[in-house]
Amino acid sequence: MSTVAEAEAQPLYTFPPPGPLWRHEAKQASNNSEHEPESQQRAKQIFQNAVAATAPRHNWTKEEISAIYHQPLMELSFRAGTLHRRFHSPSSVQLCTLMNIKTGGCTEDCTYCAQSTRYQSGTGLPAKRVETVSSVLEAARLAKANGSTRFCMGAAWRDMRGRKNALRNISEMISGVRAMGMEVCVTLGMISPSQAQELKAAGLTAYNHNLDTSREFYPSVISTRSYDERLQTLSHVRDAGISVCSGGILGLGETDTDRVGLLHTVSTLPTHPESFPVNALVPIKGTPLGDRKPVEFTTMLRTIAAARIVMPATIIRIAAGRKTMAEEQQMLCFMAGANAIFTGEKMLTTECNGWDEDKEMFARWGLEAMESFRKGTA
Ligand code: SF4
């Protein structure tokens, strides 16, 4: 298992370069642009080309993504916001409600998760049975009445092997929510090609399966399933014609290099995920990461902006951790390209910003809820 110190690598390009801090010095330096290191000139060129994009591309190198990710934050966010406006309506934000349909009792060892049985003695979270179809549909109705247009259901399972009855019930939930005119997403762990097809036949819009972090850092976070197994599930989802929702968690102890690595993996898939959730770790007492310090907001913003640039057509979702963000911080994220949030009473096992609070925030800033099955296209 690699340590954070071992994993910490230097960015390919650092900004700003050691140099002038004051205007007169900067002027002098600008007269000496021929002295700008070649690596820095190349990074600028990569960035300029990236923000001029008119279509998504899939052949990014880690070097290019690193050059984008390490741009000065103000410039990075502004340019990401400009690109966002080329691909999306900037005032349109998707409202999703995420319900836990089966809590706790999971056999996996994800070190951030309260639902793993391995940490149950520390977290005290009891395992529950799967929710009934009628209670889930009631929750979806409430979400719709409050303005949510996408309803996501999460179950704490490693995979769906041997869960025929559960899959049948979940298919019924999916059809019921679709009949309300909402988008439906589920996250059930690893699934096989035939299970993906069954979910598609029930009307599933999207399947969530996060990669969490870079391939290199991943073994420090989870040992019970591999990065390749996760990618395989994403490929089964894609092959079944279901939209892919796959993102990461920041604040696990990863480095900038890992965040660049995650962005590289998702942005070089044959088709970009339609949705990329950016989670800030919510440390839960009793889990191995329960004492971690919250990730810096600037890291969150930088990751969102870089994600917007390398996957311009994707919906970028502010996921866990939004509850701790000031309203102005959330707006910076929207300006830099985020265009979806989770809203409602709960987000799996953690607190979530409520519908009323979000409605008021949207009204203050002139944001509007994205309609179902629309991507807020510009
Ligand atoms: S697979 Fe999901 S529910 Fe299970 S421990 Fe990991 S994050 Fe938690």
Annotation marks residue 152 as catalytic: yes
Domain residue extents for the chain:
92-369
Asked if residue 116 lies in contact with residue 287, where contact means CB atoms within 8 angstroms, the answer is yes
SS3 296: coil
Q: Which atom from ligand 1 is nearest to the alpha carbon of 222?
A: 6
CATH topology assigned to domain 92-369: TIM Barrel (3.20.20)
Q: Which atom from ligand 1 is nearest to the alpha carbon of 113?
A: 8
Beta-sheet strands, E only, within the chain? 92-102, 150-155, 183-187, 206-208, 243-245, 248-250, 275-280, 315-318, 340-342, 346-347, 350-351, 368-369
Query: Ligand 1: does its nearest atom lie under 6 Å from the Cβ of 115?
Result: yes
Beta bridge partners of 185: 152, 206
What pLDDT shows up at residue 216?
A: 98
Question: What does the pLDDT profile of the chain (378 residues) look like in tens digits?
Answer: 333 333 333 444 444 443 444 454 445 545 555 677 888 899 999 999 999 999 999 999 999 999 999 999 999 999 999 999 999 999 999 999 999 999 998 999 999 999 999 998 888 888 888 899 999 999 999 999 999 999 999 999 998 888 888 899 999 999 999 999 999 999 999 999 999 999 999 999 999 999 999 999 999 999 999 999 999 999 999 999 999 999 999 999 999 999 999 999 999 999 999 999 999 999 999 999 999 999 999 999 999 999 999 999 999 999 999 999 999 999 999 999 999 999 987 666 667 788 889 999 999 999 999 988 776 555
Determine the Cα–Cα distance for residues 271 and 232; give it in Å rounded to an integer: 14
Catalytic residue, from 178, 230, 238, 245: name it: 245
CA of 108 to the centre of ligand 1 (A): 6
Pairing of strands 346-347, 275-280: unpaired
What pLDDT shows up at residue 77?
A: 98
Annotation marks residue 113 as catalytic: yes
DSSP character at residue 63: H
Beta bridge partners of 276: 316
Nearest CA residue ID for atom 6, ligand 1? 110
Catalytic residue, from 79, 230, 317, 322: name it: 317
Determine the Cα–Cα distance for residues 345 and 186; give it in Å rounded to an integer: 18
CA of 369 to the centre of ligand 1 (A): 30
Query: Ligand 1: does its nearest atom lie under 6 Å from the Cβ of 140?
Result: no
What pLDDT shows up at residue 21?
A: 46
Query: Ligand 1: does its nearest atom lie under 6 Å from the Cβ of 190?
Result: no
What pLDDT shows up at residue 18?
A: 39
List binding-site positions: 106, 110, 113, 152, 185, 245, 317
CA of 156 to the centre of ligand 1 (A): 6
CA of 154 to the centre of ligand 1 (A): 10
Beta bridge partners of 351: 346
Query: Ligand 1: does its nearest atom lie under 6 Å from the Cβ of 258?
Result: no
Asked if residue 289 lies in contact with residue 249, where contact means CB atoms within 8 angstroms, the answer is no
Asked if residue 196 lies in contact with residue 80, where contact means CB atoms within 8 angstroms, the answer is no
Asked if residue 234 lies in contact with residue 243, where contact means CB atoms within 8 angstroms, the answer is no
What pLDDT shows up at residue 257?
A: 98
What pLDDT shows up at residue 124?
A: 84
What pLDDT shows up at residue 20?
A: 44
CA 14 to chain CA mean position, Å: 25
Nearest CA residue ID for atom 3, ligand 1? 156
Annotation marks residue 96 as catalytic: no
